[in-house]
Structure formats: structure tokens, C-alpha cells
Structure 1
Amino acid sequence: MSGANFNKVYVVGVGMSKFIKPRGEVDYPEFGLEAAVKALNDAKINYDDIKYAACGYVYGDSTAGQRVLYQLGMTQIPVINVNNNCSTGSTALLQARIAVGSGMVDCAMALGFERMARGSLGVTFTDRTNPMDHVTMVMAGEKGFEPKAPGAAQIFGNAGIGYMEKYGSTEEHLAKIAEKNHRHSSKNPYSQFRDIYTLDQVKQSPKVYGPLTKLQCCPTSDGAGCVIVANEDFVKKHGLMDQAVEICAQTMATDSPRLLTTDAIQWAGFDMTVTAAKEAYKIAGITPNDVQVIELHDCFSANELLTYDALGLTPPGKAHTIIDSGDNTYGGKYVINPSGGLISKGHPLGATGLAQCTELTWQLRGWTGDRQVPNVKYALQHNVGLGGAVVIGIYKKANGNTTQPHLGYNPAIEARPITQEDYNKACSKSKRAEFLEAKL
């Protein structure tokens, strides 16, 4: 993907729904349609311009992507359905970028959505091998396994404990991460939770596993996100360069054999992040010092701590120092999870990576109002799925020109529902299926 024949790829349109508690109030076709319509309207194009789509979701039957997109038109484009655990959304974006960058198409869509069950994640299939059985058995042999605690919380909780024991970080550092992300989330209209909590409230909330309290764990969520990518010719033809964001680098890594060692830090996929991040910096021609804003996969506060180290934001073993110095929030060296992150914004698995890209695109455009990070030149995305896959993206504005929202409102600071007019602008002009037309 970084070879000489790989074309530049730009983000030209983004959109997302509010992330909400899973209550069965909104079904995935509605979430998906909302995000897709918003992204198409942001890009000032309609569905006829989309030549390829990658649709990400974890919980749902096959071809759910087609079911969502047929509402916009049955244009017979390739629609690829993607499941890569919690990195599903950014994996869909990777597929769309490859389609454009390879020259296969000039414009592609990555769409992610999720309708989840309430409560902690559990095992869906009990009659076949669990794809996480290898690391779970290693963890159980080393630390035991708590039947009543969520499996993911145990993996990430033990990784956090391992980092604390090895390098001297504390439970206070984990609580400070969660306090920061809840505080950031209060300014994001798309967030599932917008309440601000004190450090004591974070620490005193119910224990989930080890040092992790409830307010340090991401919730299950419903919602959708969408990103439209295009090549340079398409961007110029449609007059989109002033709002376009270049994907300077995008890498994916899967697990190394370190996953199955007795080092608890590695059970959370630490080595995947190290590998993907190093390659991304190399392709983009930058270092961590060049980045100003980061959307980081904080499914648990422990993972945000580990990832500071894995991304090279601090020297090895010094992740906690970025918290002590305040260099992970406004006024510091980096602003990490200005959206509120997974902990507070929410985590509908298929949508998460695309919501991260949406936030960073808005940040680079300078649209994010009270949560705007100043002087953003480079933005970094980190999305991890156990089992495993890590996707790293590095973004920059395509040019130095400023641009203003053109939708009649600013979507970065106001989460409006779509209207019939929005839908009419976005849908195919010739190949709509009447029975699937939006009823808005």
C-alpha cells in the first residue's frame, strides 16, 4: 500500500449518527442510512458517484451492508461486508482506501454500523472454537479466570496490571485517563455519555475487574459512521480539495507470537500497535512528535495507558509520565480522544473506527468548536480488535485553505437527524428501489 504505484487517497466526506444505549429503538438500516447520507452530503456527491463500498459490522447476518445501501440505490457496485472485531470500522476504511489507491475505482465508501445487545460482550457461538481461546487459556493459566467478569475486561485489566507492576504506573493514572475522556466527551454532541465525573467518582464507581471501575470501561452502543474516500482527480473534478483530508499513511498489523507469552501487556495486542505505528510513521515521513491530536482505542483506561507507550508517544515504560505532565489533554503536547473516546463517546464496534476518522477530519478542517485542538497539522487514529488486528491512520489537511460547513449547520458541533431533503440529495438518481426508499 505504500509502493510507488499507490495513488494518493483523500477523505472527502464524513458523517455519523449519535451513539446511544442499545435499547432496540433504532435498527441498523436507519443508523447506516443516516451516516451514509451525511457523508454523501458532506462530500457534495450522491450515491451514483460511489463505485465500491466496504461495510463493517460485528453483530448481524451476512449482507447487512447491502441491506443498508440498497436504500440509497441498487447500483450493482461491489459491496464487501467486513468483520474484524473492534477494529472493523477502520478495516472497512482500509478496504475502501485500497480500492481507490490501487486505481480500481475513483471514489469509495466505508460504512460501519452496529446494533448491540445490552450489557457486557459475551460469546455468540458456544458450539465452535472461540477465536480468542489461545490467549484466554494463557491468561487463565497465569492469572486465573473470573467467570463473573467480562472476558475483555480481564484481558485489558491484566495488561494494565502487568504494566503497573513492570513500570511503576498506578491505579490513579488509569482513573485520570477516564476522568479526562469523560470531560472531553461533554463537548461532543454525538457522545453516548456527556456527564463530567470527578476523579473520586471515577475511582469509586463499581469495580469491574482488577483496577478497572465501571467509569473506566466503554459501554456497549448502537450507532453508525461513514467515510468517503477518493483519488486526486475526483477531488479536483468535484472541487473538494479545500475540505479534503489526505490519508498520509494507513497500516494494519496482526498479532505476533508475543501474544501467547506470559507477558500480560502483550495479551492486549501491544505488539500489534508497535508494529503498525512504526510502519505508519515511516510511510508518512513523520515521528510521534509531529502529531497534535489522536483518537485512540480506549476500550478500557488500561489500554489507553499501554497505547501511549506502544505508539511511541513516550519512551518505553514511561506511559504514565504523559498523564503526570498533562500532555494528553488540552494545553499539553497531545490532545488524546477529544471526542471522549470509546469510554464516553461509546463503542458500537463496526462504527468506532469510522467515528474516529470523522472526528479527526473535523479537527483538521477546524470545525470542532469548543473541542477544537489548536494548530493541527497531523492527526493519528488507533483502532484495535482483539484476535487480532490494529489499524493505524495518519491524516493531514490536503491544503492550507480554510473551509466552512456547507450543510446549513456545522455537523461537528450539532448532531442533527437527516431530513427527506438530505436523503433526496444523497440517493441514486436512477436506480432507487421504491420499497426501500427512506421514509423520513
Structure 2
Amino acid sequence: MTAKPKAYVVGVGMTKFTKPQSTGLDYPDFVKEAVTTALDDCGLKYTDIQQATVGYLYGGTCCGQRALYEVGMTGIPIYNVNNACASGSSGVFLCKQIIESGNADVVLACGFEKMAPGSLEAMNGNSDGRALPVDKHIEVMAETYGLFPAPMTCQMFTNAGKEHMEKYGTKREHFAKIAYKNHKHSVHNEKSQFRKEFTYEQVLNARKIYDFCGLLECSPTSDGSAAIVIVSERFLAKNPRLRPQAVEIIDMQLRTDFPSAFEEKSNIKMIGFDMVQTAARDLFRNAGLTPNDVQVIECHDCFATNELITYEAIGLCPIGKAGELIDRGDNTYGGKWVINPSGGLISKGHPIGATGVAQVVELSNQLRGRCGKRQVDNVKVAMQHNIGIGGAIVVGLYRMADGPAKPAAPVGGVTLKSDAIFAEIKERAEKEKDLVKNTKASFRFNVTNGTHSKSWTINLHKDPPFIGQSDEKVDVEITLKDDDFLALAAGKLKPDQAFMQGKMKLKGNIAKAMKLKSILDPTMLKSKI
């Protein structure tokens, strides 16, 4: 059997996920920002894109075209994908198939949502009398449990959690621990809707939405967009500069059935347990991997109950043992896996059509070592899980094309005095949005102490910004001694003086080089060794 052609994610971008209607922007604005960022990440233009998918849940026909027309009107095929909460990842799945078919070498997958405040019911409208996609689920719930006044989706997942507690002795506190973890993770994600670190007690005792499920255990409605650029191996061979950042899509599985849920009327099965389990088994079998090979997972935690049940469905632990996994801390930093380092849907936000694509953005950045304080150590394989009730499930595995990304520093065991300055520049770039916005330039510093040398790349074109070791093309290349760099950082030597005195060699865009004054502002740097 001939192996399928490989597909690679080479560019990623997303907006900040925000409270609905809080920005004054419309969905084409969100999409334009996400797509432009993804294109800038890989140095491609919209005219390079040959086909595109756009995922969304709420909106009329051809919203995808309307959104992408803000980026360009090139006449390419644009597919509108509506697969409930799995719309975005379904678009990624379709893009992978397009690459595998050989019909395109460069494709774009993006997703968006512009929502209303409150529960999903605020977005619903069905005045034409047609059946809703979740009608069968509502029918089973009504026959088995009666109808409840609380939001329907919260009922479904909370009832599944109750069933799990009754069958396996899972504790109510286990769900709160998951939500607490995700809120804690999102503190370091600038794209998250929520960045507040709630206490465990605040999560446990939050206002109840339905039964035991509290507000902080539910994903919020959100506005936002995410986008990725996917290319073929043929394109990558012609553009080797992209290979160091290329993320291979090892395998993806999409399933769209809930047969046993309606036969047995099980809450756990009705939220897609069997479908997830089957998809995950096929995923790992096709990839020749197991859950033990994975280090980081972006999981569809629309409610904390679903994340817990998903641990068992994708094979992280035996059925009924998810509570023990949580108690061991095997779902966060220092444990066996880091699950939802982005904050997940619960804290990062859940603009439905964007969610599945945003998961790929986070996993790509994790594999590329670009996540700053939320970076997971030694990431080799990353996993995605995205589910849409009604229904659809997408799971995927990802890895770097050329093996795991190398740590930013130290390189070869060498430590230079200037390392502390670059670490501080990295911290500034993560916190100071104006610095990144106003600079929009990339630099490579070749620093030597006479015995050892090290190259640092500062790329403020990217979002998130990149500070570390990279061979990518930059606007300005600078060569200088370690001690002279320290003098610059301390304000004892000005960049123009260093250049005129021959202490600093410059190659590239001189206008961009002038922006070094902002990056090496002595008043903003604490480390002046």
C-alpha cells in the first residue's frame, strides 16, 4: 500500500479570544487578523494559497468567502465548513485531504465565530420548522430524564459526569480540579479570554449552572478567529527555509456517528464517548504510536466533565480511572501529560468555529518551542481532540518534520553573559504588546566571547514573538562581542557608536536596525551585568 503524501503546518495565527461584542469588530476583521498572522509566520502571501476552508457555526451561506475577501479576492475554491464545535478541525481535516490528493500544495484552514453573550441558547433560532441537528439528543434526554430549564448542553455533559460518578466513584472535586488547572494554565496565554488564576475553592464554589456544574467549569461564549497554512512535502522541498518550522500532521481521524448513545440512552455515550474511543484507537494504530508517546494534548473541554471522560476515551487511563490520573497530577506540568496548556475552552475561550484551528495553533507553537512560560518540556508528539455534538469528532497527532525543536539555550552547554539579556528581552516581548507592535522587525545577534559563539534570533513579526535559536531569514544581522552587547544593554554604548567604532557589524535593513533602540532600552532592562 502506497503511503499517503505528507501534509505540514508551516504558518499559524490567531486573534485574542474575547467576550462577545466587546471589541466592536465583525467576523471578517477577526479572520483577516488571524490569516495575515499565519501568512506572516511562514513568509507567504494570500496569492500563494490555492484552496481554503472556513469553519463556523453561526452564520449564513458563504460567510467564508465574505471573511476571506478582506484578505484578497483570488478566485480560489473556498469551502464553508459547519460541523458544530468541530467545524474548525473538520476544515483542517479537509485541507489535509486536499494536500494528500495532490490537487493543491498550499492550503489555508481558518475558523471564526462572532457570538452573543450568555449560553448557546442565545444564538439559536429555528423559525422555519426544520429539524435541528441535536433534535435526537433532545428527544432521548426528554424520554429518559425529562426536560430541564438549564442550558441543554450543560445538562448533557453534567449528566454524563453524574453517570461517571455513580459508576466509577469519581468525585465531584475531580471536575473542579480540571477547571482549576485550565484557568491556571491560561494565565500565561496572551490570547486567552480569561487570564485570572482562580483558587480551587473559587472554582468549586462558583455559581451553579446546572446541578453540580459551576460557572468556572463551563466554556464561555467568545469572539475570535484562528488560521493555519498547510503545505505539501513537494512544496516544502522547494522551500527549504520553511522546513525548520514545519509541523507534520501525522494522522487525523474524523467520525460522525453516535449509534450506541441512542440504543442504550447513556449520558456518557451521548456526548460521544464511543465515537472518540474508536477514532483515537484508529489514530494511534495508523500512526504506529500510543498515548505514552504524547507529551501535550489540546482537549475539547467545553465542560470539565467532558475533559475527564475524554481521558478514558482516548486511552490515557483505563475506564473509570480518570480520577486517579487527576489526583496524581498527570494532566499538568510535572506530570505524564500537559493537557490544555493554552487554558482550553474553559479559560482560553470557545468561539466555536475557531476552536479546532486554535488547538492546532497551540500545538504547533508547543512543538516549535514558542510558548514562553507555558512551554511544555521536551515535546515530541502533540495530540488534538475536538468534538461537536450532533455530531462530529476530530482527533489528530502532530510532530516536527525534523524532530523535536531544540531548546533555546544554552546551546552546546555554552553560556554567555548576554544570555540573561536575551532572556529578559523574551520576557518583555511576551508582556509588552506595544514593543512588538511598534517594532515589527526581526534580528539575529551573533555574539562571541572570543572562545565561544552563540546566535540569537529576535522575531517581532511573529505572534507570539520568537526569541531563541533559529536559522530563519531576518531583517537585520548583527555581529558583536559579548561584552559590547552588555555595554549596549547597560547604556554605556549606543548602537550608532558601536557601529561607527567597528564594535558592531550590521547586514540588512538599516531602517529596521534603528529600532534596536527600543529593544535595548537601558531603562527597560533590569539585567546590566
Q: State the TM-score, normalizing by the size of structure 2.
A: 0.76
**C-alpha displacement at 1:5, in angstroms?**
5.1
Q: Does the 8 Å contact 1:405/1:411 carry over to 2?
A: no
1:323 corresponds, among 280, 302, 326, to: 326
Q: Does the 8 Å contact 1:188/1:413 carry over to 2?
A: no
Aligned-residue identity in percent: 51
Given the superposition, is the C-alpha separation of residues 242 and 88 from structure 1 closer, same or farther in structure 2, using an over 3 Å criterion? same
Equivalence for 1:424: none
Structure 2 unaligned residues grouped into runs of 5+: 409-455, 467-529
Quote the RMSD (CA, aligned, Å). 1.5
- 1: CA distance, partners of 2:352 / 2:132: 18
Q: Does the 8 Å contact 1:12/1:235 carry over to 2?
A: no
Equivalence for 1:26: 25
Deviations 1:339-371 (A, max 9, x none): 000000000000000110000000000111110
1:94 aligns with 2:79: no
Out of 259-268 and 240-249, give the one that drifted further.
259-268
Equivalence for 1:412: 464
- 2: CA distance, partners of 1:233 / 1:58: 33
Q: What is the correspondence of 1:206-245 to structure 2 with a 5 Å cutoff?
A: 206-238=207-239, 239-245=241-247
- 2: CA distance, partners of 1:252 / 1:397: 22
Equivalence for 1:16: 14
- 1: CA distance, partners of 2:461 / 2:37: 12
1:44 aligns with 2:34: no
* SS of alignment partner, residue 244 of structure 2: coil
**C-alpha displacement at 1:95, in angstroms?**
1.0
Q: Does the 8 Å contact 2:37/2:462 carry over to 1?
A: no
Q: Does the 8 Å contact 2:258/2:270 carry over to 1?
A: no
Equivalence for 1:436: none
- 1: CA distance, partners of 2:211 / 2:396: 31
* SS of alignment partner, residue 249 of structure 2: strand
- 2: CA distance, partners of 1:314 / 1:86: 25
**C-alpha displacement at 1:140, in angstroms?**
2.0
Equivalence for 1:256: 258
Structure 1 unaligned residues grouped into runs of 5+: 415-440
Q: Does the 8 Å contact 1:367/1:410 carry over to 2?
A: no
- 2: CA distance, partners of 1:38 / 1:304: 30
Q: State the TM-score, normalizing by the size of structure 1.
A: 0.91
- 2: CA distance, partners of 1:164 / 1:204: 19
1:174 aligns with 2:226: no
**C-alpha displacement at 1:413, in angstroms?**
6.2
**C-alpha displacement at 1:406, in angstroms?**
6.7
1:369 corresponds, among 365, 369, 372, to: 372
Equivalence for 2:353: 350
Equivalence for 1:142: 144
Q: Does the 8 Å contact 1:368/1:413 carry over to 2?
A: no
Q: Does the 8 Å contact 2:255/2:394 carry over to 1?
A: yes
Q: Does the 8 Å contact 1:292/1:335 carry over to 2?
A: yes
Where relative contact order (Cα < 8 A, 6+ residues apart) is larger, the structure is: 1
- 1: CA distance, partners of 2:135 / 2:105: 41
Deviations 1:356-398 (A, max 9, x none): 0000000000111110100100000000000000000100011
Given the superposition, is the C-alpha separation of residues 405 and 195 from structure 1 closer, same or farther in structure 2, using an over 3 Å criterion? farther
**C-alpha displacement at 1:124, in angstroms?**
2.1
- 1: CA distance, partners of 2:385 / 2:268: 17
Q: What is the correspondence of 1:113-124 to structure 2 with a 5 Å cutoff?
A: 113-122=112-121, 123-124=124-125
- 2: CA distance, partners of 1:62 / 1:351: 17
* SS of alignment partner, residue 144 of structure 2: helix
Given the superposition, is the C-alpha separation of residues 363 and 300 from structure 1 closer, same or farther in structure 2, using an over 3 Å criterion? same
- 2: CA distance, partners of 1:201 / 1:413: 33
Given the superposition, is the C-alpha separation of residues 5 and 30 from structure 1 closer, same or farther in structure 2, using an over 3 Å criterion? same
- 1: CA distance, partners of 2:459 / 2:13: 12
* SS of alignment partner, residue 242 of structure 1: helix
* SS of alignment partner, residue 229 of structure 2: strand
Aligned length: 411
Out of 195-204 and 395-404, give the one that drifted further.
395-404
1:79 aligns with 2:78: yes
**C-alpha displacement at 1:409, in angstroms?**
5.2
**C-alpha displacement at 1:211, in angstroms?**
1.8
* SS of alignment partner, residue 339 of structure 1: coil
Q: Does the 8 Å contact 2:87/2:352 carry over to 1?
A: yes
- 2: CA distance, partners of 1:107 / 1:289: 32
**C-alpha displacement at 1:108, in angstroms?**
0.3
* SS of alignment partner, residue 241 of structure 1: helix
- 2: CA distance, partners of 1:407 / 1:83: 35
- 1: CA distance, partners of 2:2 / 2:76: 27
Q: What is the correspondence of 1:148-187 to structure 2 with a 5 Å cutoff?
A: 149-187=150-188
1:385 aligns with 2:388: yes
Q: Does the 8 Å contact 1:182/1:343 carry over to 2?
A: yes
Equivalence for 2:517: none
* SS of alignment partner, residue 243 of structure 2: coil
**C-alpha displacement at 1:283, in angstroms?**
1.3
Q: Report the residue type matching 1:191 in the other structure.
A: S
1:303 corresponds, among 301, 306, 315, to: 306
Q: Does the 8 Å contact 2:85/2:352 carry over to 1?
A: yes
2:342 corresponds, among 335, 339, 342, to: 339
Q: Report the residue type matching 1:208 in the other structure.
A: I
Out of 52-61 and 340-349, give the one that drifted further.
52-61
